[in-house]
Amino acid sequence: MKATAESDAPLRATSLRYFNVVGSGTPEVYDASPHNLFPKVIRAIKAGQAPLIFGDDYDTPDGTCVRDYVHVQDLAHSHVAAARMLDAGRPLAPVYNLGSGDGTSVREIVGSLLEAAGSGLEPVVKDRRPGDPARIVARGEPGGG
């Protein structure tokens, strides 16, 4: 079998790194994970229960964990854009970190969801979960975390 010029081309790739994916692309395909913060808080509010915050003594501005949440549609667009650039032969870095670089605290997310729902509930602070780092955010340079 004779090799074609296309098959002789070097393999090209890039990596897209992200940390905390949230949201949904459509109402039919929503984030129902029992482990993700947003669905957990929304389920609690809908049930009339106080949302839980695990730990408020971290070395962060408000004492709760900080995460760099990225919407699932933004990730989908990023993957498509990277694939198109690869297909077009355009230069790409080996790694891209996708996120704000700042993050949002668990207390800020819970407070915003409670406010948006018009709930009079107050979150309940529990002990830290083992292994939860204080802060996970993307950094601008590849390899950051």
pLDDT tens profile 93-143: 999 999 988 899 999 999 999 999 998 999 999 999 999 999 999 986 554
Reading the block at residue 134, the tokens are 């204080």
Question: Does residue 142 form part of some domain?
Answer: no
C-beta contacts of 113-118 below 8 A and 24+ residues apart: 113/38, 113/41, 113/42, 113/45, 113/51, 114/41, 114/45, 114/51, 117/45
pLDDT at 35 over 50: yes
Q: Which domain holds residue 112?
A: 5-136
Stretch 58-66: mean pLDDT:
97
Closest among 123, 108, 127, 119 to 50, alpha carbons compared:
123
Contact 86, 12 (CB under 8 A): yes
Q: Is residue 1 predicted with pLDDT exceeding 70?
A: no
With respect to residue 23, please indicate whether it lies within any of the assigned structural domains.
yes
Q: What radius of gyration, in Å, describes the C-alpha atoms of the chain?
A: 20
pLDDT-derived band of residue 4, with 50, 70 and 90 as boundaries?
Answer: low
> Does 17 fall in a domain?
yes
Where is pLDDT greater, at 110 or 9? 110
Residue with tokens 């994916």: 21
Are the CB atoms for 65 and 107 separated by under 8 Å?
A: no
* Two tokens, residue 43: 């389920």
Q: What percent of the chain has pLDDT over 90?
A: 68
Is residue 95 situated within a structural domain?
yes
Average pLDDT over residues 35-59: 94
Q: What CATH number corresponds to the domain at position 107?
A: 3.40.50.720
pLDDT digits (tens, 9 = 90+) for 94-105: 999 999 888 999
Domain-embedded: residue 144: no
The total of structural domains in the chain comes to 1
